[in-house]
Copies of this chain bind each other. A is one copy, B any other.
Amino acid sequence: MVSKSQTKLITSLQQKKYRSQSGLFVAEGPKVIDELLNENMELHSLFSTKASEITAENHFHVTETELKKISFLKTANTSLALFKIPQPKIPQDSGLIVALDAVRDPGNLGTIIRLCDWFGVQQLLCSEDTTDCYNPKVVQATMGSLARVQVHYLELSEYFGKTKLPIFGGFMDGNNIYSEKLPQEGIIVMGNEANGISEEISQKITHRITIPRFGKIQKTESLNVATATAILLSEFRRFTEM
């Protein structure tokens, strides 16, 4: 059973304000939930339609109708969990880091977190106006990678003022990424879906790079931020010893 106060709490977690207040976020479906548990994300409570999954005090057996009521998905899965948002850590100024300047689309952020995980990028820096990574849509899109990538929300320009790492930024008019010598350590900055990297952040970029367009007719406006991140990460990693 789901109590009224539980329903109220879960529903409220769609909004960032209430996630911050309660320190909780929602994950749905056994696959995503298992991945988060495997990475030692701390479980607050679990709601499942399967009696076999109810093995602790903070596990609640629910009917399909009850689950549907608390689910954020179009088609509810068999389980929904609340996890505790991990305490923020201090970013380590080393290795390959991705930084996002005002990326707004939850699907894009989720895909980028998954890409970081794939390419062994352990730290993702986000400007304060980037979508919250504990937004339910982001959590679902990361497929569990969220537990393996540290996401830091901070004042990007302040961080860039102090870092010792080279700062690469994706622009339409930068150096050809395929002929650029890329280091193993550095920060790759990706900008907002509509406006790219902001003026303030642009001034901190030490290396302007671009993915060249091919084909005779060069009209494609720009690549989606997630696909551009995929290509840049692949370029930075392709020469790495495996």
A-to-B contact residues, CB < 8 Å = 35, 38, 107, 111, 114-115, 117-122, 143-145, 148, 178, 211-217, 219-221, 223-224, 226-228, 230-231, 234-235, 237-238, 240, 242
Q: How far is the CA of A224 from the CA of B118 in the complex (A)?
A: 11
Residues of B within 8 A of A235 (CB): 234, 238
Q: Contact at A214–B226, with CB atoms within 8 Å? A: no
Report the copy number of this chain in the oligomer: 2
In addition to A117-B220, A230-B230, 8 A-B residue pairs with Cβ atoms within 8 Å of each other are A114-B220, A118-B211, A118-B215, A143-B221, A144-B219, A144-B221, A223-B230, A230-B231
Q: Contact at B111–A35, with CB atoms within 8 Å? A: no
Q: Contact at A120–B178, with CB atoms within 8 Å? A: no
Q: How far is the CB of A129 from chain B (nearest CB, A)?
A: 21
Residues of B within 8 A of A107 (CB): 107
Q: Return the chain B residue nearest A235 by Cβ.
A: B234
Q: Return the chain B residue nearest A221 by Cβ.
A: B143
Q: A118-B223, A223-B114, A224-B111 are in contact. Are A212 and B145 (CB under 8 A)?
A: no
Q: How far is the CB of A144 from chain B (nearest CB, A)?
A: 8
Q: Contact at A219–B35, with CB atoms within 8 Å? A: yes
Q: How far is the CB of A49 from chain B (nearest CB, A)?
A: 22
